[in-house]
Amino acid sequence: MAPPAGHLSQELEQQEAILRAQPRAIQIFLEAQGRQLAQGIVDHLPNLRFTLPDQVAVQSSVEMPGELQRVPAEAREQMAVGLMDRLTKAEPRAAVRQRLLELEQSSDRAVTTSGRLILHATVSSMVHTMLPAGRTVNYRAAEGDSIPSIPVSRELEPESAITAATDAIAEEGKPEEGRGALLVPYVPAARRFFLPQWVAFDDEDRLLVGSVGEAEAHVASMQRYVGVLHAAVSLAPYVVADPEYQRKRYGMLGQLVNQGRALCRFTTREIIATIQARSTSGDLNRGLSLSLPYFDDQDLEIRTRDFVVIPAGRIMFIPAFAIRAAREEAVKVAQDTRLDPSTRAHLLHILLMLEEAFQPPAGASAPVVSPR
């Protein structure tokens, strides 16, 4: 059972108060250790070490910072991920969390406080410094959707993109002597999102970048962004009460779901175009199986739905086969309890795209396909 929100807020405030009570030099030291540990966790480094400060302001009996106490010299150097963790293929994040928990359970109050401070510095680095800040955005949820992912345009939003640091990027290449970097504005469709530099599709699924591979790289960057936030929560659940965490999670989650679904729809249209081209050339008469992409809202991953349109063999392809296969698969998807409602609706839309692409023109009769 998750802790109540009020408890998490209190724990966050307590950890921040303990950090603020430390001398400035110790705060800087802790921040450096937190950055190093956070980067190692995200990069899955094979060896992760950190160092406790030489002294800390410990907590008193009323859970408030008190006097400075020295950390035992033998406890300062810590190994979070080592040989045994690599041999057992332990997740670095879990190994770090376990080591910090052991420090918090120490009988030495200076070590206990140091462990808590290192943990707080690590998750703070993940939330506040590792990730781009992004724009202030507002999303709405589609009908029946659980995640707001459709950007809401602001009525007073300026027409020009060059209004804020997040609205334009510096053009790569060597600038002319005596001139600054050339700022290239993002298109309006991208500026409605949290991080415009990772927007690959507009609201009509038109590709805004150079290739599908680049779009996939943008989705991967967004997944990594959300993954860093999730890693911070797994280390210290109280971080969900941090307003910066909430702002970044809201902004990136909506963008990831929006762009992930758009990529799946775009890829589906490419699959449909390939089928139509191969059908015209008579290259689909030996069977056809499809793997249609869809975005899983729960795991925040692109997955595929695999099914057979025409069994292997010498069977001539006709559009009615694709229509029937899409309808049959839609029935299975509608009954698949492993999918959450919004993912199911998204996948049903993907299948409907396939079905409609092979519908005969209005007024034309479709060939009759006998049931299998």
Write the burial class of residue 139 (CB in 10 Å: 0-12 exposed, 13-18 middle, 19+ buried). buried
- Other C-beta atoms closer than 10 Å to the C-beta of 155 total 5
**What's the whole-number mean pLDDT along residues 128-139?**
94
Q: What's the pTM?
A: 0.84
Confidence of residue 117 (pLDDT cuts 50, 70, 90): very high
| CA 118/CA 29 separation, integer angstroms | 10
* pLDDT tens digits for range 31-86: 999 999 999 999 988 888 999 999 999 866 545 557 899 999 999 999 886 544 45
Given a contact cutoff of 8 angstroms between Cβ atoms, the answer to whether 369 and 320 are in contact is yes
* pLDDT tens digits for range 306-327: 999 988 877 888 899 999 999 9
Write the burial class of residue 53 (CB in 10 Å: 0-12 exposed, 13-18 middle, 19+ buried). buried
Given a contact cutoff of 8 angstroms between Cβ atoms, the answer to whether 264 and 304 are in contact is no
| CA 131/CA 229 separation, integer angstroms | 9
Query: Does the pLDDT at position 363 exceed 70?
Result: no
* pLDDT tens digits for range 221-268: 999 999 999 999 999 999 999 999 999 999 999 999 999 999 999 999
| CA 230/CA 249 separation, integer angstroms | 9
| CA 76/CA 52 separation, integer angstroms | 5
- Structure tokens of 31? 């921040």
| CA 137/CA 252 separation, integer angstroms | 10
**What's the whole-number mean pLDDT along residues 164-192?**
59
The domain ranges of the chain are 5-129, 139-256, 261-357
